[in-house]
Chains A and B, each alone.
Chain A
Amino acid sequence: MVDFARVQKELQECNRDFEVSGIRVVPKSEANLAHLLGTIPGPLGTPYEGGTFKIDINLTDGYPFEPPKMKFVTKVWHPNISSQSGAICLDILKDQWSPALTLKTALLSIQALLSAPEPDDPQDAVVAQQYLREHHTFLGTARYWTEAFAMTSSLDVEEKVKKLVEMGFPETLVRSALDSVGGDENLALEKLCSG
């Protein structure tokens, strides 16, 4: 069984210092704490700057003694992240996992991975080749993907709010729901419906 008491505590602690870290973890639905959504801001000074990256988190029964399963939902151009599936190649998510690590520290490590790619141990060979041989093109593509997939312009948000309000939800609730799931329209709707 997943240790839900610990997951609860982790969520509280993580969201408490959201202002500092910019990292957020929320349950996809209140009923199931084993399926979560994490968001990390793209690190400054990288092509990912300004983007908000969503990460799908699944906790296995052995958590925290087994690593959480994490993958990018937001498309991202990075040597250690599959451009197709969002799978992440990171040692602490595999054999270097320690029960003393938390969801927040894992997300911080992923954020660190965004700033410091390891092209010698790639998840996506195509991206890694480009990173090594045509670094300039790599930076361009990574930036383009960040702008295209990881940035929700304010216009987008307004459109979503409008859409949800038209469905009959109060605007304040819609805004807070959208905010808590990192701007994902469908998740926000799910959240609004569930309560």
Chain B
Amino acid sequence: MEEDYYMSGDSEEEEDYYSPDRDEESLDGLENDDTGAQWNPSKAFSSKVITKESLLAAQREDLRRVMDLLSVREHHARTLLIHYRWDVEKLIAVYVEKGKPCLFAAAGVTVVERLDPESSSTLMCIICMDDIPAEDVTKMDCGHSFCNHCWTEHFVIKIKEGQSKRIRCMAHKCNAICDEAIIRKLVSLRHPDLAEKFDRFLLESYIEDNKMVKWCPSVPHCGNAIRVENDEYCEVECSCGLQFCFSCLSETHSPCSCLMWELWTKKCRDESETVNWMTVHTKPCPKCHKPVEKNGGCNLVSCICGQPFCWLCGGATGRDHTWSHIANHSCGRYKEDTEKNAERAKRDLYRYMHYHNRYKAHTDSFKQESRLKETIKEKVSSLEARDSNLRDFSWVMNGLYRLFRSRRALSYSYPFAFYMFGDELFKDEMTNCKREIKQHLFEDQQQQLESNVEKLSKFLEEPFDEYTEEQVMQIRMQVLNLSVITDNLCKKMYECIENDLLGSLQFTIHPIAPYQSKGIEKAEELSVGWTQAPYNEKCQKAADQFKGRVI
């Protein structure tokens, strides 16, 4: 099966080659329908940028749906949505399955019939234990009344505690969430700054409590959030230009899974490898515990503190040493265990170094090549200045972007391989034999990609602005060819990883962001259909409505 896969990959590759003896005429046509070489951001946006301005609009869509569906007021819809983490589908599912009362009760929404207004002119507030004129008493949806002063104190404390999203009624064991319009009205009378904070909390809940929306991790923060539509395992580009993995918010790292990437960065940061080296090459002095390195010679070692010890077992000894014996010491037999541990540490270290060196080499190349962009632009403009038949030089930039894209994929494929075929994550997932087969399959693909990426890089670095028209055509051909090839190879490598490698795991799931041939998707700005004014107006209206009812 895997053999077949590889074979078919090979043959496709042959087909994709533009043989240099193809017609000159056909080349112009090719440029336009050649998806690999064209560098246009994808048209079907699956992610959106939410700015400070469009946050209200974004929330509003979901609020509307719930308000219409359940015919509830805005604050009830918000309470429900916060409870269900802004997952409208989930909310609807619960509604269909368990019905309205259950849905409402779980979220703390109480909609009661209006009771007759209290007849007496004063009421006793059980919080401050004072008699309060009826106009200074407010009744919540759940039917509990307290004086405005006590309500305000309660709200202020809860907002300061950061609980704006779920401020419950003051009555003991009452689970009802307070009406946001009342909170806003009462708090703003005495603490306008806190009322603002409250509003901000409610707004930002749409980002904080929502699985499909996340703040852009840019530093300093650009103020934007990104909403994805379908899959949270994807890589996006914010309108501020930062590209990141939506799932773990670190730099884009496919085809590494988020867990692999986390482990890898930690490993690179840690000094654990240094520690490993020390285990292999040094022993702690039995007296001062400093690590001592043996610089050749016999097994009687002495530390700078003066303590002599036996290199084989690490035990303290006397100073005299003969060919058969160390004074005051005999560590007896060769200890297999310690020797084995040292061997393993050594092997692990070399393995890590192998993968790390290659990962590093490709990221370094990537950095070098990023600088290429400027020189290439110069080359293109000097070519354009020439009076020749060649007019379209988009292939240069497209080739360069292809190089960037595949170089990244290539560099991240090394940490992937380190974990995929190592003991740390998938020790029990496959037999050694199977692992070996898979590793060969993967490494073959990786190798092919690597050699083509290097070729592409070589051609792009050539001083083609000094070449003759004929030679430029040659380069162009090569760049176009190699662009298609590397794109296909990347695609295949991702497929192999997703299907044959990660897909076959039984105990764990390692989702990765899919390969996007056209590069990391730029999130689209969310269109703002309405502004802040109607929202505030509405709040005001709700508050007025309330005032009319209660007092």
Residues of A within 8 A of B174 (CB): 98
Name the CB-closest residue of A to B126.
A100
With contacts A66-B157, A99-B154 taken as known, whether A6 is within 8 angstroms of B170 at the C-beta atoms is no
Q: Which of A9, A65, A96 contacts B153 (CB 8 A)?
A: A65
Distance A64 CA – B147 CA, assembled complex (angstroms)? 14
Most buried by B among A9, A64, A65, A96: A65
Name the CB-closest residue of A to B161.
A66
Residues of A within 8 A of B157 (CB): 62, 65-66
Tally of A-B residue pairs with Cβ under 8 A?
A: 35
Say yes or no: A5 contacts B128, CB within 8 Å.
Answer: yes
Instruction: Give the bracket for the number of chain B residues in contact with chain A.
Output: 10 to 19
With contacts A62-B157, A65-B154, A66-B157 taken as known, whether A9 is within 8 angstroms of B129 at the C-beta atoms is yes
Distance A159 CA – B233 CA, assembled complex (angstroms)? 76
Residues of A within 8 A of B170 (CB): 98-100
Residues of B within 8 A of A96 (CB): 173
With contacts A65-B154, A65-B157, A66-B157 taken as known, whether A99 is within 8 angstroms of B127 at the C-beta atoms is yes
Say yes or no: B129 contacts A6, CB within 8 Å.
Answer: yes
Distance A5 CA – B129 CA, assembled complex (angstroms)? 9
Say yes or no: A98 contacts B171, CB within 8 Å.
Answer: yes
With both chains docked as a complex, state the minimum distance between the C-beta of A16 and any C-beta of chain B, in angstroms: 14
B222 in the interface, Cβ–Cβ < 8 Å? Answer: no
* Chief secondary structure at chain A's binding surface: loop
B397 in the interface, Cβ–Cβ < 8 Å? Answer: no
Say yes or no: B172 contacts A6, CB within 8 Å.
Answer: no
The contact string, 1 if C-beta is below 8 Å from chain B, for chain A 99-127, is: 11100000000000000000000000000
B150 in the interface, Cβ–Cβ < 8 Å? Answer: yes
A30 in the interface, Cβ–Cβ < 8 Å? Answer: no
Residues of B within 8 A of A101 (CB): 172
With contacts A65-B154, A66-B157, A100-B171 taken as known, whether A6 is within 8 angstroms of B128 at the C-beta atoms is yes
* Chief secondary structure at chain B's binding surface: loop
Residues of A within 8 A of B129 (CB): 5-6, 9-10
A3 in the interface, Cβ–Cβ < 8 Å? Answer: yes
Say yes or no: B128 contacts A3, CB within 8 Å.
Answer: yes
With both chains docked as a complex, state the minimum distance between the C-beta of A2 and any C-beta of chain B, in angstroms: 11
The contact string, 1 if C-beta is below 8 Å from chain A, for chain B 136-173, is: 00000000000000100110010000000000001111
Distance A66 CA – B172 CA, assembled complex (angstroms)? 13
Say yes or no: B150 contacts A98, CB within 8 Å.
Answer: no
Residues of B within 8 A of A99 (CB): 127, 150, 153-154, 170
Distance A18 CA – B170 CA, assembled complex (angstroms)? 27
Distance A172 CA – B529 CA, assembled complex (angstroms)? 81
Name the CB-closest residue of B to A98.
B172
The contact string, 1 if C-beta is below 8 Å from chain B, for chain A 55-93, is: 000000010111000000000000000000000000010
With both chains docked as a complex, state the minimum distance between the C-beta of A101 and any C-beta of chain B, in angstroms: 6
Q: Which of A62, A64, A66, A92 contacts B127 (CB 8 A)?
A: A64
Name the CB-closest residue of B to A101.
B172
Residues of B within 8 A of A62 (CB): 153, 157
Q: Which of B128, B130, B153, B173 contacts A98 (CB 8 A)?
A: B173
Say yes or no: B172 contacts A100, CB within 8 Å.
Answer: yes
Distance A114 CA – B128 CA, assembled complex (angstroms)? 29
Name the CB-closest residue of B to A64.
B127
Distance A64 CA – B126 CA, assembled complex (angstroms)? 11
Distance A5 CA – B150 CA, assembled complex (angstroms)? 13
Name the CB-closest residue of A to B130.
A5
With both chains docked as a complex, state the minimum distance between the C-beta of A56 and any C-beta of chain B, in angstroms: 23
Residues of B within 8 A of A100 (CB): 126-127, 170-172
Residues of B within 8 A of A5 (CB): 128-130
Distance A3 CA – B129 CA, assembled complex (angstroms)? 10
Residues of B within 8 A of A66 (CB): 157
Residues of B within 8 A of A6 (CB): 127-129
Most buried by B among A3, A5, A66: A3
Q: Which residues of A are at the interface with B, using a C-beta cutoff of 8 A?
A: 3, 5-6, 9-10, 62, 64-66, 92, 96, 98-101
Interchain Cβ contacts under 8 Å between A and B, 7 examples: A5-B129, A6-B129, A62-B153, A62-B157, A65-B150, A98-B170, A101-B172
Q: Which residues of B are at the interface with A, using a C-beta cutoff of 8 A?
A: 126-130, 150, 153-154, 157, 170-174
Query: A6-B128, A96-B173, A100-B172 are known contacts; what are 9 more A-B pairs with Cβ within 8 Å?
Result: A5-B130, A62-B157, A65-B150, A92-B172, A98-B174, A99-B154, A100-B126, A100-B127, A101-B172
- The 7 nearest A-B residue pairs measured at CB: A98-B172, A65-B157, A9-B129, A99-B170, A99-B127, A100-B172, A65-B153
